[in-house]
Amino acid sequence: MGSLILVRHATTAASAAGRNLGQTNDPPLSDAGLELATALGGTLAAELAELPHDEIRLVSSPALRCRQTIGAIAVAVAVDPASVEIAPGLLEIDYGAWDGLTAEECEARDPELRAAWEADPHATACPAGESGQDVSIRSAAVLEPLEAWLTADRARCAIVVAHNHVNRVAMCRLLGWPMRDYRRRLAADPGAYSMVTFGGAGPVVRRYNVPGA
């Protein structure tokens, strides 16, 4: 069965501070994040050594923090960084007016909307931003063809580096769980990865939110 390794980018100053980081700004990884990305690359190289992978594709969100993370992975797994596929559909959720805020600041600014978003972030959009459903539709347009490619040959592997909301809605879809629960029931830590194999009766989750270092 073909293998998908779904990675959240390594640490940024915003993620370390618990602040929303969507599409408004494009900061680099922190120093700790660069170290984590390097360690993650070594961890994934060890994973690949145990997997059949005559063909491998590396796919990334265009955000700098994702490109830096997948660049470190590419070096570790001996793939030309120039071959990385950049997919705008994998960008993080557009937080709109909540970008750069903490959860507490969002609640103070928009208490009723925040409560609705916490109850169902898939159906509820951030102010002047996106909903989880918006993220799911555009990211699925990237991931579903990739999943079909993996299903066709067990000796294929894809490493995808994306974001918190992108990865959680993707995993919720693959697990067949109610999409409104993607934030409540799933975590996606910086520099962590999940592995799903495709083929046979359907997707099988082999790893979930494994620390990269």
Contact 162, 141 (CB under 8 A): no
Answer yes or no: 122 catalytic.
no
CB neighbour burial string for 6-28, b if at least 16 within 10 angstroms, e if fewer: bbbbbbbebbeeebbbbbeeeee
Question: 62 CB contacts (<8 Å, ≥6 apart)?
Answer: 86, 87, 88, 90, 91
Q: Within 13 Å, how many C-alpha atoms sit on residue 202's CB side? A: 4
DSSP H stretches of helix in 50-181:
64-76, 103-109, 111-119, 132-151, 164-175
**What 3-state DSSP class applies to 92?**
coil
**What 3-state DSSP class applies to 90?**
helix
Q: Which one-letter DSSP state was computed for residue 161? A: E
Q: How far is CA 125 from the centre of its chain?
A: 19
Answer yes or no: 163 catalytic.
no
Catalytically annotated residue among 47, 92, 130, 147? 92
Positions marked active-site: 9, 92
